A = this chain, B = another copy of it.
Amino acid sequence: MATRWGICGAGCISHDFCVALKTLSPKDHQLVAVAARSLESAKKFAKTHEIPTAYGSYEELVKDPNIDVVYIGVVQSHHLQVGLLFLNAGKNVLCEKPFAMNLREVRQLISAARENNVFLMEAVWSRCFPAYAEVRRLLSEKTIGDVRMVKVYFGLPLLDRERTTQKGGGSLMDIGVYCVQFALMAFNGERPQSIHTTAALLPSGVDESIVVVLKFSGNRMAICACTIDCNLPNDATICGTKGIIRVPHPMHAPTIVEVNGEKTEFPLPEPGLPLNFHNSTGLRYEAEEVRRCLLEGLKESVKMSLADSEMLIEVMDEARRQAGVVYDQDSQ
């Protein structure tokens, strides 16, 4: 039986998610409905992706009984409100990252999922890539010995889409989330002992560039650096006592893993329509993970557990606090 998807939000990332879903078997994944704030854009989106039903409000999607799981692709400042809408209606949810604006909001989403006994996952799609599975395998087999230092970079010139504090903008929330989640994965979900942040803010109050240095037990460290000002190499490197694992550009959606310079490739399928984001047919892997979890009756994924999401936002909250980036939602 196919997993029946409802799409919430008709923007760029929802587009790519649907294109990625089409690279999987229609026996496994069906696009059933899309909801947007305007019926017109929902209809246009539905036509592009051959989705049978289009709704001009999220509330209509909530009431659709033919949906197994909702993909939330709206802007992050609306994740809490929209997420609660679906979770409290008993719908399973895959919600785009960042999960919400701060720890308080993330905990509200998690509580709602638990109270309603539904599946919830933050759409950190990177975690579901075969390349990341390979990295985790290499780490668990101690191929590079013990992990000592991790460095992750993500920089893109995105100043034209600068968002305000109201909308949850800034380099850390927009793309730095990929660096932090990688570092936390490399240290196997361990809580950092300390967090040191250096940030450069824009006039809007959000961070243009930010460097977050995490210190873990046993003198181990991670460096996460991101900017919306220019391109960085956008790779991730795990340095161990016996060697180095490198995930080259784009480390957040990778097709290559290098172990001491030796490459293994994990190619992506070709998309059926043009994409907005690099390598985003790789969104298919998180769709597959959601389907697997639903079939097994799981309420969260081990690849990006709800505890993982909590720690991720905790680290970002502390980094933002040190950087002096305050969102309107922080005072609520």
Q: Can you tell how many copies of this chain the complex includes?
A: 2
CB of A289 to closest CB in B, whole Å: 31
8 A-B pairs within 8 Å (CB atoms) are namely: A148-B229, A149-B155, A196-B197, A196-B198, A201-B219, A229-B241, A230-B240, A233-B244
Task: Assess whether B231 is in contact with A244, with CB atoms less than 8 Å apart.
Answer: yes
- What are the 4 tightest A-B residue pairs by CB atom distance, in nearest-first order? A200-B219, A198-B213, A196-B198, A148-B230
Return A295 CB to nearest CB of chain B, in Å. Answer: 41
Q: Could you tell me the distance between the alpha carbons of A239 and B227 in the complex, rounded to whole angstroms?
A: 11
Asked whether, in the complex, the Cβ of A209 is within 8 Å of the Cβ of B155, the reply is no
CA distance A198 to B201 in the complex (A): 21
Task: Check if A163 is an interface residue, CB within 8 A of chain B.
Answer: no
Report the Cα distance A135→B297, complex, angstroms: 57
Residue pair B151, A225 in contact (C-beta under 8 Å): yes
B227 x A149 contact (CB < 8 A): yes
A306 on the B face (CB < 8 A): no
Say which size band chain A's interface belongs to. 35 or more
A211 within 8 A of B: yes
Q: A230 — which chain B residues lie within 8 A by C-beta?
A: 145, 148-149, 239-241
Measured between beta carbons, the chain B residues less than 8 angstroms from A209 are 148-149, 219, 221
CB of A217 to closest CB in B, whole Å: 10
Let me know if B200 and A208 touch, CB within 8 A: no
Contact with B along A140-154 (1 / 0, CB 8 A): 000001001101010
Q: Are B208 and A198 in contact (CB under 8 A)?
A: no
A237 part of interface (Cβ distance < 8 Å): yes
- Minimum CB distance partner of A322 in chain B: B196
Q: Which residues of B contact A200 (CB under 8 A)?
A: 215, 219-221
Q: How far, in angstroms, from A194 to B145 measured CA to CA in the complex?
A: 35
Most chain B C-beta atoms within 10 Å of own C-beta, residue among A148, A153, A157 = A148
Q: For A246, what are the chain B residues with a Cβ–Cβ distance below 8 Å?
A: 233
Closest residue on chain B to residue A199 by CB atoms: B215
Most buried by B among A149, A151, A239: A149
**Structural contact, B232 and A239, CB atoms closer than 8 A:** yes
C-alpha spacing A148/B231, complex, angstroms: 10
- Whether the Cβ atoms of A153 and B151 lie closer than 8 Å is yes
- Choose among B148, B197, B223 the residue that contacts A223 (Cβ–Cβ < 8 A): B223
Contact at A219–B225, with CB atoms within 8 Å?
Answer: no
Tell me how far the C-beta of A262 lies from the nearest C-beta in chain B, rounded to whole angstroms: 15
User: In the complex the two chains form, what is the Cα distance from A208 to B220 in whole Å?
Assistant: 10
Residue in chain B with minimal CB distance to A243:
B231
A85 to chain B, nearest CB (A): 38
Assembled-state Cα–Cα distance A219/B220 (Å): 28
Q: Which chain A residues in 108-158 approach chain B with CB under 8 Å?
A: 145, 148-149, 151, 153, 155, 157
A198 cross-chain contacts in B, Cβ below 8 A: 194, 196, 213, 215, 221
State whether A231 touches B223 (Cβ < 8 A). no
A168-B198 Cα distance, complex, nearest whole Å: 28
